[in-house]
Amino acid sequence: MGEIIDGRAVAAEVKERVGREVAEWIESGGDQPGLATILVGDDPASHVYVRNKRKATEEAGMRSFHHELAADTPQETVADLIESLNDDDAVHGILLQLPAPPQIDDDAMTRLIDPMKDVDGLTPVNAGLLQQGKPGMVPATPLGVMELLRSIGAELRGANAVVVGRSMLVGKPVAALLLAEDCTVTHCHSRTRDLAAECRRADILIASVGVPKLINADMVREGAIVIDVGINRTEDGLVGDVDFDGVLPKAAAITPVPGGVGQMTIAMLMHNTLAAAKAQAAVRAGR
């Protein structure tokens, strides 16, 4: 029977560590880190996500600046707000909650965010830096995946890692991070010819697909580590992309849904906000 990786516990540790580091940073004369959230429209799930992010920001001792805009807000208004937050020295991180309503071009608005304040790691500059193996802002969920692997002492060097899903938010950055840790990475997607065969080669299997229980026990090698990023709302409640009950007996370790990767995203966002504040202070000091 595999180990169930406790995302809640690891996330709590990360949040506690960030809170401690924020206090030390301020104590040593650093500016209080600030995270600005922009929420356009009435999507209930987005409201919950942003509320949780704001709460975690304040709990970590950082400032939360929240901007809530009506669903019919024109794109220029969002663009102006992002530009003003780029120029605001009290704001170290800018988070535009996506997806925004249809009149707003998510990619165009993301590109406006100052890369140094891009705590979601979604600007082309940060995505490019990650591919180049250079320091930059890395999206929070992939960082959370890596933190969970670290928490169980997973041996990454030379391991066969299979990533299913190639989103900008998860699949692509996770693959880049695993490659940077010397994994041999196979990247699968909807056109992969024999997904089961590819998955069976994995020492480390990461699923970020959005299809409930796509990965079943037949697709998992005995002793593999399985990280399930999927969050799917079904009639049976929240389920992941992995058939947890079926895979658990075969896996060396596996994340549950809920209680796994989902817990890590906000914790790593807090980590990114503090890192952004420190990086911006270093740039200002160099001026």
Is 92 in contact with 277 (CB distance < 8 Å)?
A: yes
Q: Which of residues 206-225 bind ligand NAP (CB under 6 A)?
A: 208-211, 214
Judged by CB under 6 A, which of 195, 219, 253, 269 binds ligand NAP? 195
* CA–CA gap between residue 239 and residue 70 (Å, rounded): 31
Q: Is 177 in the site for ligand NAP (CB under 6 A)?
A: no
- Give whichever of 116 and 148 is closer to ligand NAP, judged by the CB atom: 148
Q: Name the residue among 147, 159, 268, 161 with its Cα closest to residue 207.
A: 161
What are the backbone angles phi and psi of residue 229, rounded to the nearest 5°? -85, -20
In whole angstroms, how close is the CB of 233 to ligand NAP at the nearest point? 9
Torsion, CA 226, CA 152, CA 13, CA 51, rounded to 10: -10
- Give whichever of 136 and 260 is closer to ligand NAP, judged by the CB atom: 260
**Tokens (6 digits) for 96:** 């535009």
Q: Is 258 in the site for ligand NAP (CB under 6 A)?
A: no
Q: Is 256 in the site for ligand NAP (CB under 6 A)?
A: no
In whole angstroms, how close is the CB of 258 to ligand NAP at the nearest point? 9
Q: Is 265 in the site for ligand NAP (CB under 6 A)?
A: yes
Sheet holding 93-96, edge to edge: 63-69, 34-40, 93-96
List 97, 114, 213, 280, catalytic entry: 97
Is 117 known to be catalytic?
no
What H or E segment, with its residue span, contains residue 65?
Answer: strand 63-69
Is 53 known to be catalytic?
yes
In whole angstroms, how close is the CB of 104 to ligand NAP at the nearest point? 18
Judged by CB under 6 A, which of 35, 39, 162, 169 binds ligand NAP? 169
* CA–CA gap between residue 28 and residue 22 (Å, rounded): 10
Q: Is 191 in the site for ligand NAP (CB under 6 A)?
A: yes
List 120, 203, 241, 243, catalytic entry: 120
Please give the angle made by the CA atoms of 198, 202 and 204, to the nearest 5 degrees: 140
List 53, 172, 213, 250, catalytic entry: 53
Q: Is 10 in the site for ligand NAP (CB under 6 A)?
A: no
Judged by CB under 6 A, which of 71, 189, 197, 283 binds ligand NAP? 189
Is 120 known to be catalytic?
yes
* CA–CA gap between residue 249 and residue 51 (Å, rounded): 37
Q: What is the DSSP string of 115-170?
A: GGG-TT--SHHHHHHHHHT------HHHHHHHHHHHHTT---TT-EEEEE---TTT
What H or E segment, with its residue span, contains residue 228?
Answer: strand 225-228
In whole angstroms, how close is the CB of 208 to ligand NAP at the nearest point? 4
- Give whichever of 2 and 171 is closer to ligand NAP, judged by the CB atom: 171
Residues that bind ligand NAP (CB under 6 A): 141, 164-167, 169-171, 188-192, 195, 208-211, 214, 229-232, 261-262, 265
Q: Any idea which residues carry the catalytic annotation?
A: 53, 97, 120
